[in-house]
Amino acid sequence: SSMNNKLIVALDVDTMTEAERLLDLLLPEVKIFKVGIRLFTACGPKIVKMISSRGAKVFLDLKFCDIPNVVSRAIESAAGLGVFMLTVHILGSRRMLTESMKAVRSIARAQRPLIIGVTVLTSFNQDSLREIGIEKPLIDEVLSLALIAKQEGLDGVVCSPREVAPIPQAIFFSNEPCAFISYLREISATFLSIFSGPQA
């Protein structure tokens, strides 16, 4: 169903074997799988190739945050692997985001990875934000970062469920399609659900 195309299951495991077992259970109902730093560090690019070879898409959630040139090259490598979607930290700077989008500009829209900006990690609260020198209310920081992502042409943002409603109201009410990702915890699995914004 079309809903299945919007459901992303996180492969929060440590080995190729465990990942393959989850694919055995969930294919073809689930069509997109998230690979984070835990699994990617353990298995490397071959985990992406394995998932792709089985007809599924990969959301590469490595949250790139480094000097612009380094992130740009990493995105080129990810595009070469054929990932469907990847994440960058908006806090990495406007220039990093500009270079991130330049890295995929030469690739046809249908083939290039979607670039999704990370606002504030879901583990943060107001106190932990203050500890790193950010005094503004958490929701304001999220909205501020989401606006930067929008201005830099990113394809969407990652945020926690509590920000899903305010973000589109504040920023994305336009005729451009965009995606929102929120974390849902159900049973022992982590799901990501993409919400489509207003369509042209």
DSSP string, the chain: -TTGGGEEEE---SSHHHHHHHHHHHTTT--EEEEEHHHHHHHTTHHHHHHHHTT-EEEEEEEE-S-HHHHHHHHHHHHHHT-SEEEEEGGG-HHHHHHHHHHHHTS-TTTSPEEEEE-S-TT--HHHHHHTT--S-HHHHHHHHHHHHHHTT-SEEE--HHHHTHHIIIII-SSS--EEEEEEEETTEEEEEEEE----
- The yes-or-no answer on residue 63 being catalytic is yes
6, 46, 63, 136: the active-site residue? 63
Catalytic positions = 63
